[in-house]
Each structure stands twice: as C-alpha cells, then as structure tokens.
Amino acid sequence: MKAFAPFLTALLLGIAATAGAATPENQAVAPVRMFIDSFNKGDMKAAASALSPTGLVIIDDVAPHMWTGPNAFEAWSKALDASDQAEGNTDGAVVLGKPTRVIVSADRGYVVVPAVYTFKKKGVAMREAAQLVCALQKGSSGWLITGWTWAGTKPKLIAAAAK
C-alpha cells in the first residue's frame, strides 16, 4: 500500500490540474465573450481583435443586413451607429447566456449563444432577445470569429418601463 500511495497522489494531482483546464469548446467560446465584452465597453479595437483580419461575414438586422470581407466589421459599425442615431437608440449593451451549442471540429468552431440586447429608444428602455451564432477558425494566435449572425426578435418595452 505504501508503494501505491505516491502513485495515487500523483494521479489525483494530475486529475485536479486538468479539471480546470480549458476545453476546446470553452476556448472557442472565449473570443465570442471577449468580442461582446469589448463591444459593451465601446472598445471597438479590442472587439475587432476577436475577429478574423482576413475576412468576415456579418448578418444583422441593421440595413443593409450583410457585410463581408476584411472591412466588414468597420462597415457594420458605421451602419449600426447611423441606425442608432436615426432611431434615437442609446445605452446599448448585450448580455450573453450560456451557450446552447458549441461544436469544435479540428480548427473550426460553431457557437450558438442566447443574447439579450438592452437599449433606450428615445429614452424608453427596450429589450431584444436573440441568438448570436458565430463561426470560428483556430489559427496560430488562437480562435477568431470568421462570421456571426444576430437573429433577434422584435424589440419590446422593458416591463418596468412599460408601467
């Protein structure tokens, strides 16, 4: 039994060390969360760092609804800003839920995560439930988003604001 004790201790330490290790799925979700966290802070440079610099596909409810290529994020950002100004939208923030689907296939990833976008429309608090769907590719610098789609519902008044 004494000879077995060091082996058992080493085994348990090894299991404990790997229990907190990031899974491929968690690694694929990380840039999605970082992108949204940076977006919420208004740090578009940090948000862009989660995106593939070689090209991106974005589908969103903001006209013209689709952007592609290496400048897709910048063009989408400008369209979003113009839409928000025209509609009187301010104070936008996205909260992500727990991913409902994560697929990692070698160097490609697919993430579906519920999201809620809150904002004020001409001073009135609004809420839009959605699904954020991202395609990713793993490169030498880690996972990067190569495409994302915002599949949102029609924004509704936040209950407290509706009273």
**For residue 160, what pLDDT is reported?**
65
State pTM to two decimals.
0.84
What pLDDT digit, counting tens, does each position of 48-59 carry? 999 999 999 999
List 25's β-bridge partners, or say none: none
CATH 1.10.10.60 is held by the domain 20-162: no
What pLDDT digit, counting tens, does each position of 96-150 carry? 999 999 999 999 999 999 999 999 999 999 999 999 999 999 999 999 999 999 9
Confidence of residue 28 (pLDDT cuts 50, 70, 90): very high
Sequence-distant (≥ 6) Cβ neighbours of residue 20 within 8 angstroms? none
Average pLDDT, the chain: 89
